């Protein structure tokens, strides 16, 4: 299975999707929605693609002018797929790919923060996993005061997760579909 890059310098090129049960490729419609929102701040941004899967979001960001993307996933098949996509598209000089648990990455991170973060965990982490993730994000050094976060959750838990999110972040936008809810978050001042 492949996805097409929607816009930018790599528009129309395809990327491979890992064939695993835990990888859920982001839809073209949702990617378009995210990047319509990002169009005014994607240029030269440092991007984190957490739970990267195929790397589609980070690659789309690089295609649209981001200066750097870091891809984090703990699945070997996903990491191999991202590496192949990055190599094929000649993006190695603007990318870092790490096979690491996302929670540990957030706890240990101590480098330059990211401008834009895309976070699309596998749904089996459940409500408890999402709550832990939001708490870790709020404490992590991956963020700076102007960072923009995009967090995708399963729609059935979005409403119960919102109070935990708003205790740490400002919800700038919320886009719902039948199966997912995409939160655009900002750090509370």
Residue 65 has pLDDT above 70, yes or no: yes
Pairwise CA distance, residues 141 & 74, whole Å = 20
DSSP 21: T
Per-residue confidence at 21, pLDDT binned at 50, 70, 90?
low
Give the per-residue pLDDT at 26: 73
SS3 73: strand
Angle at 49 between CA 44 and CA 54, to 5 degrees: 115
Pairwise CA distance, residues 181 & 173, whole Å = 10
Question: Token digits for 50?
Answer: 């957490």
Give the per-residue pLDDT at 25: 67
Q: Which CATH superfamily is domain 2-17+27-187 in?
A: Vaccinia Virus protein VP39 (3.40.50.150)
Sign of torsion over alpha carbons 3, 155, 134, 116:
positive
- Over range 29-38, report the average pLDDT: 87
Residue 174 has pLDDT above 80, yes or no: yes
The answer to pTM > 0.85 is yes
Give the per-residue pLDDT at 125: 87
**Mean of the per-residue pLDDT values of the chain:** 92
Structural element, H or E, at residue 9: none
How buried is 103 (Cβ within 10 angstroms: 0-12 exposed, 13-18 middle, 19+ buried)? middle
Question: Token digits for 45?
Answer: 């941004």
Give the per-residue pLDDT at 22: 60
pLDDT digits (tens, 9 = 90+) for 91-133: 999 999 999 999 999 999 999 999 999 999 877 788 999 999 9
Residue 79 has pLDDT above 90, yes or no: yes
- In angstroms, how far apart are the furthest CA atoms of the chain? 42
Ordered by start, the domain boundaries in the chain are: 2-17+27-187
Residue 133: how many other CB atoms lie within 10 Å? 22
SS3 186: strand
Residue 178 has pLDDT above 80, yes or no: yes
> Which residue is listed with tokens 């649209």?
64
Are 18 and 78 contacting, i.e. CB atoms less than 8 angstroms apart? yes
Buried-state track 63-87, b at ≥16 Cβ within 10 A, e below 16: bbebebbbbbbbbeebbebbbebbe
Give the per-residue pLDDT at 29: 79
Residue 141 has pLDDT above 70, yes or no: yes
Per-residue confidence at 24, pLDDT binned at 50, 70, 90?
low
Per-residue confidence at 8, pLDDT binned at 50, 70, 90?
very high
Structural element, H or E, at residue 30: helix 28-38
């Amino acid at each position: 299975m492949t996805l097409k890059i929607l816009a930018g310098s790599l528009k129309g090129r395809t990327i491979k999707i890992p064939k695993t049960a835990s990888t859920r490729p982001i839809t073209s419609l949702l990617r378009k929605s995210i990047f319509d929102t990002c169009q005014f701040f994607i240029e030269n941004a440092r991007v984190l693609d957490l739970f990267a899967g195929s790397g589609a979001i980070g690659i789309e960001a690089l295609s649209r002018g981001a200066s750097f993307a870091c891809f984090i996933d703990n699945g070997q098949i996903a990491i191999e797929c991202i590496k192949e996509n990055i190599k094929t598209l000649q993006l190695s000089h603007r990318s870092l790919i790490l096979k690491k648990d996302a929670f540990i990455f957030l706890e240990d991170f101590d480098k330059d923060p990211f401008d834009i973060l895309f976070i699309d965990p596998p749904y089996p982490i459940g409500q408890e996993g999402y709550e832990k993730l939001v708490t870790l994000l709020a404490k992590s050094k991956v963020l700076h005061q102007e960072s923009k976060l995009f967090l995708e959750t399963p729609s059935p838990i979005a409403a119960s997760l919102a109070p935990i999110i708003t205790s740490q972040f400002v919800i700038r936008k919320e886009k719902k579909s039948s199966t997912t809810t995409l939160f655009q978050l900002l750090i509370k001042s």
